[in-house]
A and B are shown apart, each in its own frame.
Chain A
């Protein structure tokens, strides 16, 4: 069972929900079935991975992630320029006497080496980031971290998702937005929980996320975070679109403070654990 937690807009509390849900499900007394299956949490927000701040795992494994990028054998190269011509990302420049590569633009499609008439191109690893894995609170946790200055996040997310064990309860903390890294994180999920906040920003970005999930054909529902009784447009929209609102987490300074300290509010305020387990049950029900 793979559940991804996403939101059109950043800062709605995606990480808070993902971490607290993972924590609640992994506690033995709450849900023996989940505890037995095992809970995996993957922080796929590789540009700004924050999940580990709350889970505080003991990191047992670190792995540098490389992307295969071209390497030119100058002995064989005739500077014919074919590689630059086939590269859709313009990561190769060929002059009369040299080839200049831009590994940061490379998507590792392999076109240059495939089409090189001289067989002068091989591939070497270019470091784009790292994956760290460990465990805490009975959660098997892993996150990816993109190196500063790198721009291609999806390959790192793809690599991180190779750690998924579908027999477990897998929770994916997706990056914010609706562009390529989000798609990479969410695709293949059995269900997606969209976290939003009751403001016009929250609504606008929720609509974008809903459109995205319709394209991806992943079933979804909404969670309203920082709920206050001042803005009801999210309710009207969800009613109209027939989107279930599974739970509302109230705007409480206490929750914000626990968050600001880097702690899990379901741990500090244990009454919330049951809510998260119920949330999980409704998700299981809806994804059937």
Chain B
């Protein structure tokens, strides 16, 4: 089984729109949305949820005021300043549990907290595994890991040879969780100063984890000078530019209709996306 992970560093480069197009173009695959913070792939793929699973994060702690003797030990020890006036602020709490362990009268209670859900769904284009993280919840890295495991398990069971992952933005915990063990990373970038900057950060990250990567320059004609700069950078880093796509309002138009770009239009941009996909598919060596 092979896994392609699509990343972008900064948002708004068209990563999810491209993944949506790949969902149409690729055969016999499972799709994963690992952008659990702001999962958007479902808006294009329109899934029918078949299975819902709760996701637990770090424990939640609560002071039982009937038992509490107001000694202040917990407040003193909490480094996250989450305890004030014998109340625990769930937003500041990082779930370390020192208060729970240190309370001399065991006045602090704990319970698991559901901090998100993940789903196995059916779409017109094949199975989709996606998730929704609760508001103000952490652990999206763990949720990403769980979603990927579920998708790989399903792929194995059904004899599916390809997994396509819409990765998270940034370079932190959720991205690292979506990178681990992937076969190929496609980085979607744009010819802007920020785009180049973030591309470098992601290339560093891929190099750090020794993962093979390809680059796609979206909106390449917005700034040809920056596009050349990206091409130079890729050459220097020995990373192939697998495709260049125009600054085309068709992306937004397809999105507003809730359709994958390649289904919405068969114009030049869709043709370029198809060529890009063929190129990636060849590199994946499924």
On whether the two chains bind one another, the answer is: yes
Which of A93-101, A197-205, A240-248, A271-279 has 4 or more CB atoms under 8 Å from chain B? A197-205
Of the four ranges (under 10, 10 to 19, 20 to 34, 35 or more), the interface on chain B belongs to 35 or more
Give A148 Cβ to nearest chain B Cβ, in Å. 5
Known: A177-B37, A179-B137, A262-B192. A201 touches B255 (CB 8 A): yes
Asked if A256 and B11 make an inter-chain contact with CB atoms under 8 angstroms apart, the answer reads: no
Contact of A178 among B9, B38, B169 (CB under 8 A): B38
Nearest 10 CB-CB pairings of A with B:
A11-B12, A10-B11, A11-B11, A262-B193, A109-B96, A177-B37, A47-B170, A151-B173, A260-B223, A260-B192
Contact of B38 among A10, A50, A253, A260 (CB under 8 A): A10
CB of B252 within 8 Å of the partner chain: yes
The distance in angstroms between the C-alpha atoms of A8 and B43, with both chains bound, is 15
CB of A108 within 8 Å of the partner chain: yes
Asked if B208 and A260 make an inter-chain contact with CB atoms under 8 angstroms apart, the answer reads: no
Restricting to B253-274, which residues have a CB under 8 Å from any CB of A?
Answer: 253, 255-256, 258
Restricting to B219-269, which residues have a CB under 8 Å from any CB of A?
Answer: 222-223, 226, 247, 252-253, 255-256, 258
Asked if B135 and A208 make an inter-chain contact with CB atoms under 8 angstroms apart, the answer reads: yes
The distance in angstroms between the C-alpha atoms of A151 and B140, with both chains bound, is 11
Asked if B193 and A178 make an inter-chain contact with CB atoms under 8 angstroms apart, the answer reads: no
Which of A71-79, A132-140, A161-169, A211-219 has 4 or more CB atoms under 8 Å from chain B? A211-219
Asked if B223 and A183 make an inter-chain contact with CB atoms under 8 angstroms apart, the answer reads: no
The distance in angstroms between the C-alpha atoms of A22 and B16, with both chains bound, is 31
Contact of B97 among A86, A152, A200, A201 (CB under 8 A): A86
Contact of A9 among B38, B170, B174 (CB under 8 A): B38
Asked if B12 and A199 make an inter-chain contact with CB atoms under 8 angstroms apart, the answer reads: no
Can you give 26 contacting A-B residue pairs, CB < 8 Å?
Answer: A8-B38, A9-B40, A10-B11, A10-B169, A12-B11, A15-B194, A47-B170, A47-B201, A50-B193, A50-B197, A53-B194, A86-B101, A88-B59, A88-B95, A109-B80, A149-B208, A176-B170, A178-B135, A201-B16, A204-B43, A215-B91, A230-B252, A230-B253, A259-B194, A261-B192, A261-B226
- With an 8 Å Cβ cutoff, the count of chain A residues facing the other chain is 59
Contact indicator per residue, chain B 145-188, by CB within 8 Å of chain A (1) or not (0)? 00000000000000000000000011111101000000000000
Asked if A111 and B97 make an inter-chain contact with CB atoms under 8 angstroms apart, the answer reads: yes
Known: A107-B94, A187-B91. A114 touches B77 (CB 8 A): yes
Asked if A177 and B91 make an inter-chain contact with CB atoms under 8 angstroms apart, the answer reads: no
Asked if A153 and B172 make an inter-chain contact with CB atoms under 8 angstroms apart, the answer reads: yes
Contact indicator per residue, chain A 175-200, by CB within 8 Å of chain B (1) or not (0)? 11111110100010000000001011
B191 neighbours in A (Cβ, 8 Å)? 260
Asked if B91 and A183 make an inter-chain contact with CB atoms under 8 angstroms apart, the answer reads: yes
Asked if A201 and B169 make an inter-chain contact with CB atoms under 8 angstroms apart, the answer reads: no
The interface of chain A, by Cβ under 8 A from chain B, is: 8-13, 15, 47-48, 50, 53-54, 86, 88-89, 107-111, 114-115, 146, 148-153, 175-181, 183, 187, 197, 199-201, 204-205, 208, 211-212, 215-216, 228, 230-231, 253, 256-257, 259-262
Q: How many A-B residue pairs have CB under 8 A?
A: 177
A109 neighbours in B (Cβ, 8 Å)? 79-80, 94, 96, 98
Known: A48-B198, A260-B193. A151 touches B135 (CB 8 A): no
The distance in angstroms between the C-alpha atoms of A178 and B40, with both chains bound, is 14
Asked if A176 and B136 make an inter-chain contact with CB atoms under 8 angstroms apart, the answer reads: no
B133 neighbours in A (Cβ, 8 Å)? 178-179
CB of B284 within 8 Å of the partner chain: no
